[in-house]
Amino acid sequence: MHELTIESSDEGVLVSAGRVTVADYRATGDVGPVNTPKPYFHPLRTLSGVDVTGFAPDDHPWHHGLQFAFPRVGRHNLWGGGTYFDAERGYEVVADQGSIRHDRWGTIAAAGSAAEINQSATWLGHSGEVLLKEERRWSLRVSEEKWPALVVDLATSLANVTEAPIALATPAQRGRPDGGYGGLFLRLGENFSAERIIGDDGDISASGAASRTMVVHGRTGSGEPVTLGLSFLPAGSPGAQKWLYRFEPFSAIGWAVSYDVGLEIATDGWVAFNHRLVISDGHVDPAEMQEIL
């Protein structure tokens, strides 16, 4: 039986299973404005201590472990790095990056094999203007129904506090092929590779696949086998349920809620997202993983 313990400070929260720190959640970090300061998990580890996430790699220094952000929030970039304009201009770094500001912690607690992290945050535009208010809850638990695994659930809501509707968009809406990244996003460690990718109806062969679940038999850059399970939880989220991923030349996976069509939050409105990530040592039975998802 794996029990979770938790340590918290103003800067972040550590979640441990025995002697292994399986999750380090940071309210903020040493991130420059161009790379969009935002809360993130890094590292995330399997129960045996295998690192899964990558943070601020040279190729995309705005990729921060497991993060929740959008490339376009109205006219602002809350993802980091360059902004995609069109097929001719591509990406350009312009002065439009905002930030996601940690405001306060809510309940932070662990009991038995489960832990919870609640957080209030504000999404700010480039000049500090308030765009969205967020209430975010992370729930972590150890599942031992089939084999030991770390289950990480995100339940979050974004409220529009501006005086007009506000768009949540991606480069896909400006014509970038397979550019629908935005929302929950997992940057994997250097040289992480996928040996098999499985969806609801069998193997997935291309980014942009529609499926409620995705299971990845992967291998870290050091050769350790790892299984990742990802899902759009039955509670649902607006937008598409597609998977955006890369395993060359870098490795990352996104819960793509705006893969084809952007979202809009009405004036005084809100949207909620519910997602799950399961991390397991070894290559486990995909059907059993899908039961957990």
Residue type, 170: T
pLDDT at residue 216 is higher than 80: yes
- Write down the CATH number for the domain with range 4-292: 2.70.98
pLDDT of residue 1: 72
Q: What is the pTM of this model?
A: 0.97
What percentage of residues in the chain have a pLDDT greater than 70?
100
The ranges assigned to domains in the chain are 4-292
**Of 254, 222, 224, 228, nearest in space to 241 by CA:** 254
At 187, is the pLDDT very low, low, confident or very high (cuts 50, 70, 90)? very high
Name the average pLDDT for the chain: 96
